[in-house]
Amino acid sequence: MEDKKNADAEPAEESLEQAATIVDAPETDKKDGDPDVIAADENVKRTVGSPLKPSVAKQTQSWLLSLNIWLLLFVFVLVVAGVIAFFSYSYSKKKSGSGGTINTTTLTPEVLSQLTKNDATVGSSGQVLYVQSSAVFTGKILARSDLEVAGNLVLGGLLNVPSINVAGNAGVGQLNVSRNMAVTGDTAIQGQVTISKTLQVGGSGTFTGPLSAPQITVGSLQLGGDLVISHHITAGGGTPGRSVGTALGSGGTTSVSGTDTAGSVSINTGGGPPAGCFITVNFVTKFNSTPYVQVTPVGSSAGGIAYYVTKTTAGFSICTATAPPANANFGFDYFVIN
C-alpha cells in the first residue's frame, strides 16, 4: 500500500516541477555565491522562461529608436523654421519702418551758425527740418525734388513753369499764356474773354448770349430761328463763266459780273438775231441740287422781250421766245439760292 501511495505521489511531484508557477524558495542561510543557490536560480530561469521572445524584444527596441530619431528631426525642423520666420519678420519690419519714419532736426544755435557759411548742409535726406517762425530768403531757392505746399501759395511776382498740372480748383487773378494751352475738361469763364488771334473750335459751340464779331467765316451756317440782318448783304465768291447763245445774232456780245449767288448780265445783240438763248452762266461751284434762279430785266428794252430761264446745278441760261431787236443793248440781274 505504501508502494502504491508512493507511486501515486511521484506523478504529483513531476507535475509540480513542470508548472510555470514561480514559488519563492524558503529563506535559508545559503548565500548567493553558493553552488546550490546558483543551481536553483538556473532551475527557476529554465522553468519560468522569458515573457517575450528575443526577436520580438529586438524589434520593439529598434522601432522605439527609429521613433525617437524622427521625433528629434521633426523638432529640429520646427526650430529652424521658427528661427527663419522670426528673422524674416524682423527684417521686413525694419525695412518698412525705415522708409516711413523720418527723423526730425531741431535748429540749434550751432546749426544756425552753420547756415551763415557757404554751401552749408543741415541734416540728411532722411530728416525733416522744421522752421516754426517766418523765413525770408533774399536769394534763389532750388528744390531738387518735389515741392509740397500744405497751405496757400501766394506769389508776388510772375510764375514761370514749363508745364503746370492742377488737380483741383485754381484761382488766378490774371493768367498770361504765351504758348499753347490745352484744356481736356470743361471750362467755365465768368468774365470777358479777349482773343487777339485766331480761335479754332474743333467741336460744336453754344452761345447763350449775343455773338458780336466784325467778320465771321464759316463753312456752312445753319440757323434754328429767324435771320435778322441790319446791314447790306454782299455775296462773295468768284465770277462765274459764260458761253454765248444763238439769239445774239451776227456780231452780238455778252458779259457777266458778280458771283454764283447774285450778279448782272449785259447783252448786245447784232444783226438779225433769232429766238433762242442769249447767254449761259456757268457757276464757279456746282450746287448740290437745282437752285432757285430769279432773273429781273433791267430797262425798258429788256422788259419788252419775252424772256425765260433754263437752269441746272451747273448754271442757268437766259433765253427769248421771240426774235429780239437787232443792234440793241439791254441787261438782266440774277439772284440764285438753293
- Residue-wise pLDDT tens digits, 9-55: 444 444 434 444 444 444 444 444 455 544 445 544 444 444 545 56
Mean pLDDT, residues 132-147 taken together? 79
Alpha carbons 218 and 213: distance in angstroms, whole number: 13
Alpha carbons 71 and 11: distance in angstroms, whole number: 56
In the Cβ-directed half-sphere of 74, how many Cα atoms lie within 13 Å?
6
Q: What are phi and psi of 135, to 5 degrees?
A: -130, 135
**Residue-level pLDDT at 96:** 57
Cell reading at 252: 452780238
**Residue-level pLDDT at 285:** 95
Could you tell me if 258 and 235 are in contact, meaning their C-beta atoms sit under 8 angstroms apart?
yes
pLDDT band at 127 (very low <50, low <70, confident <90, very high): confident
Paired sense of beta strands 253-258 and 276-282, if any: unpaired
Alpha carbons 196 and 178: distance in angstroms, whole number: 12
Q: Which residues contact 31 (CB under 8 A, 6 or more apart)?
A: 37
Coil, helix or strand for 47?
helix
Q: Give the range with max mean pLDDT: 25-29, 94-98, 144-148, 160-164.
A: 144-148
Q: What is the pLDDT of residues 239-297, one digit of tens each?
A: 999 999 999 999 999 999 999 999 999 999 999 999 999 999 999 999 999 999 999 99
**Residue-level pLDDT at 250:** 95
Alpha carbons 80 and 77: distance in angstroms, whole number: 5
Q: What is the pLDDT of residues 151-209, one digit of tens each?
A: 877 777 777 777 777 777 777 777 777 777 777 777 877 777 777 777 777 777 787 88
